[in-house]
Structure formats: structure tokens, C-alpha cells
Amino acid sequence: MGGIEPVDREYKKNALLIYGFDPDKFFDFTRLYSIPGVPKNASSAISSSIKSYLLKEDPTYQGAVSTFMPTYANGNSMLACGLDTSFLIKRNTHKFQSSPSNDNKNSKVYEHLTNRRAEKVASSNIITNQMRLLPVVEVMAVFNKNTRYQPLINLGKEMLVKEN
């Protein structure tokens, strides 16, 4: 399963601009995952189909980005669909909000929050993981380098680090 969205996070837009790309000419693969029993190449096949469809609709697309979490996956499906260039890393932090359990008022239930949902919750109600995890890696597939701006840094030689 997955979603395709415009690149809407400012840090991703800024990173693409630094590398000389137009963030409005990229799309973001989000929530890409599969379930047990699905053929191993399902994610890459779906991603390739999406890429072909979008390029047919607008051949000026420069590329796609996605997020890879090496703590949880090996990344083979990302590589198979062409998302093979790392351009930014950031700390892997999970955020949780606790609430009383419906079954037992003395115990708590912890709900995992996405960053977007966590922005709407009072910071005093959020707890984070205590164990350090491998960093989150933002990856890209470049389709069209001809429409690129003059980059500030060379892709493949340098990587940006997003500080929290």
C-alpha cells in the first residue's frame, strides 16, 4: 500500500533546492508498506507503475523521494524501484501519547503519533523512545536532470543532516 503526495515538508523542499531540484517537480511516496503473503516485488512494481503514469501525465517531473527506516527494513524494495540515492538523514524518534486504558483505569494505552499529529498535541503529553535507533534516511530517484538548477552541493558526494 502507499500514497503519492506533493513534497510538502519544508526541510525536504529545502534539501531538494540545495541539490538543484524543483520540489514542485518531485513527488513523495508515503506510507509505502506491504503485508505478509504479498509478492516480494509488489512495492517496486507498484512504484514503477506510478512513476510511469505520472511521467506520462507530466514529463517534466524531475524525480521522487521517500523515507527509509533501516531499523525496520532492509531497503531492497526501495532500491528495486529506483529510490537509490540518499540525500538527507534525520534522527529516528517515535512519539507516543498516553491515555487511560478502557479495561483497567490503573494502566495506560500508548498511541503512536506521526509528526503531523504530534504537532497538535501538547508537548507535555508526549513521550519519546529512550533507545537510540538507526537514523531515518530520505532517498530519491532522479528522472530528469536536464531541468535541474545549479546545485549548491553535489548529489552523491554530500548528504544533509536534519537537526531536530
Q: Domain segments of the chain: what residues? A: 3-91+133-162, 93-132
Amino acid 120 reads K
Place of cell 531540484: 21
The CA-based diameter of the chain, rounded to the nearest angstrom, is 61
- Which of these, 26, 46, 23, lies nearest to 34 by C-alpha position? 46
> Sign of dihedral through CA atoms 48, 50, 53, 54?
negative
Residue 47 and residue 73: Cα distance in Å, rounded? 17
140 contact partners, CB below 8 Å, separation of at least 6: 16, 26, 63, 64, 65, 66, 83, 85, 87
pTM to 2 decimal places: 0.75
Count CB-CB contacts under 10 A for residue 110. 12
Averaged over successive runs of 10 residues, the pLDDT of the chain (164 residues) comes to 81 91 90 70 77 86 88 74 85 82 75 82 82 88 78 70 69
Q: Taking phi first (over 0 means left), then psi (-120 to 50 degrees means alpha), and beta for anything else, what does residue 37 get?
A: left
